[in-house]
Amino acid sequence: MEDANRTCPKTGRPVPSPSPRTRELRPLTILGFVSLAWFLIRVVPKPTRATYPCQRAAAPLAAGFLAWLAGLAAPAVLFRKARALSVASRSGSAWLLAAAAAAAVAGGAWSLTSFPALLRANPPTDQPYVLFDGPLEPVGIGRGIVPGRVVWVHDPKAVRWELTGSWWEDAYNDQAAINGMLSHSLQWLTNQKTDAKAWAALFQHFNRTHGRGNAGYKAGEKIAIKVNLNNTTGHNTIPRLNTSPHLTLSLVKQLVDVVGVKPSAITILDPSRFVPSNLYDKVHGPYPEVVFVDHIGGDGRIKAEFKLGAIPFSSPGGNATGIATAAL
């Protein structure tokens, strides 16, 4: 609770404590301003972001904040205009503006009392929320070798959480445990007992569903591994890589040792980002023939090429409309 007996250090006069309404407005004003700033920063550069859930939540708060500001600013503007017209002896217009200003004052008073209600969350109702698709009901049509199946594997031995260095360093990752997790994932995903049978089932399913018959992997076929490196900024070592180097190595090892893919037929790529050295070195060391493709090339990477305009419904400009055409 604020001190009711505060005094001004210059005049020594008592300073009145803010009213309960003022105390309520302070956090709501900050919330409204932040919502407006967030909406403008995100949506103005790319209007399609207005459909994002976070922007749908911010939009009404920002709108309420703007309505409140307008209700406060309008009286001052109208009064100044009315005064200027009165000085210029345009009394009729001045009276009209004065009347409008009085209405604006009423609107401003309304906004002072209504702004908290505009930003306050909807009160809870007694009616339970009903899911449009029913509880625990899958949405869409299941796809894959076992339609709709998603495999989740956990091994607490795979990584150590007591870090004094970076999460991707060998000291904190058990490569054998990570290899085992990938092996379990393959077998559980395909309902097979061995990694070899799991890979055979995957390739046969892919070829069968793409009009290529019930064939497995054939020597010479290229394999592309699209990794997620959305937060990388260059080829330097960086902790903000979204793909584990050790898991990537496990996947390459499976393709080479189990499936029989030549390392030179494997490409690891993120055409619009950068392959950092902590991922590149982890795979390039044991498999120097594996091909790497990224946005700028160099340092052992191949520069991705883009066919711009290939995706007409994407946001215009830059690589957003393009498809990488770099040879694998």
Same domain, 301 and 208: yes
Query: At which of 119, 134, 155 does a domain end?
Result: 119
**The pLDDT of residue 278:** 94
CA 104 to chain centre: 41
> Does 294 fall in a domain?
yes
Do residues 182 and 97 share a domain?
Answer: no
Q: Where are the beta strands (DSSP E) in 169-290?
A: 223-226, 266-269
Q: Per the structure block, which two tokens stand in for 93?
A: 């217009």
223, 251 Cβ separation under 8 angstroms: no
Is 100 within the bounds of a domain?
A: yes
What's the mean pLDDT in 64-88? 68
Tens-place pLDDT, residues 296-322: 999 999 999 888 888 877 766 666 777
Residues 198 and 315 both lie in one domain: yes
6 domain residue, yes or no: no
Considering its fold, how many domains does the chain have in total? 2
Confidence at 165, pLDDT banded by 50, 70, 90: confident
Instruction: Say if residue 52 is in the same domain as residue 196.
Output: no
Q: Specify whether 178 is located in the same domain as 64.
A: no
How many Cβ atoms are within 10 Å of 82's Cβ, its own excluded? 21
Q: Do residue 98 and residue 25 come from a single domain?
A: yes
Share of the chain above pLDDT 70, in %: 69
176 and 263 co-located in one domain: yes
Confidence of residue 171 (pLDDT cuts 50, 70, 90): very high
In a domain, 317, yes or no: yes
Q: Model confidence over 280-289: pLDDT tens digits?
A: 999 999 999 9
Helix (H) or strand (E) holding 56: helix 53-87
Same domain, 219 and 104: no
For residue 268, give its domain range.
Answer: 170-324
> Sorting pLDDT into bands at 50, 70 and 90, what band is 124?
very low
Q: Do 281 and 203 share a structural domain?
A: yes
What is each CA distance from 115 to 30, 71, 106, 112, 260, in whole angstroms? 12, 10, 14, 6, 67
Residue 63 lies in a domain: yes
Give 141's pLDDT tier (boundaries 50, 70, 90): confident
Q: Is residue 134 part of a domain?
A: no
Residue 73 inside a domain? The answer is yes
* Residue 303 φ/ψ, nearest 5 degrees: -75, 130
| pLDDT score for 122 | 46
Is 126 within a domain? no
Residues 108 and 176 in one domain: no
Going from the C-alpha of 41 to that of each of 37, 47, 55, 63, 264, the distances in angstroms are 6, 10, 11, 15, 44
Q: What is the pLDDT of residues 85-114, one digit of tens each?
A: 666 655 556 566 666 666 665 655 555 555
Q: Is the domain of 286 the same as that of 224?
A: yes
